[in-house]
Amino acid sequence: AAMEMKQGKLDEGGRTLDLAISTNPKSPSAYYNSALLTLQKDAGNTSAARRYYETGRAMGGAADPQLEALLK
């Protein structure tokens, strides 16, 4: 998904992340990448991106200061 996002294939990246979350719903990185993807698609949609980030944190993910800065 991260590679698809870097290539600008945002819809494909979204589908890959949806699959990753449905396959392993406790993967913090899938939620973090979903937050980043949400911001790439719509920089003003910080509330949805924050929900993904907070879900990843609840799954045991470490704080990500760079992502947190984007969510402000």
pLDDT, tens digit (0-9, with 9 covering 90-100), for 20-69 = 999 999 999 999 999 999 999 999 999 999 999 999 999 999 999 999 99
Which among 11, 14, 43 has a CA at the least distance from the CA of 31? 14
pLDDT of residue 1: 92
Report whether 5 contacts 40 (CB < 8 A): yes
pLDDT of residue 58: 97
Q: 14 pLDDT band (50/70/90 cuts)?
A: very high
What is the rounded distance in angstroms from the CA atom of residue 12 to the CA atom of residue 70? 22
Residue 41, both tokens: 């698609």
Q: How many Cα neighbours within 13 Å face the side chain of 60?
A: 3
Residue 19, both tokens: 């699959």
Which pTM value belongs to this model? 0.92
pLDDT of residue 37: 96
Report whether 67 contacts 51 (CB < 8 A): no
pLDDT of residue 21: 96
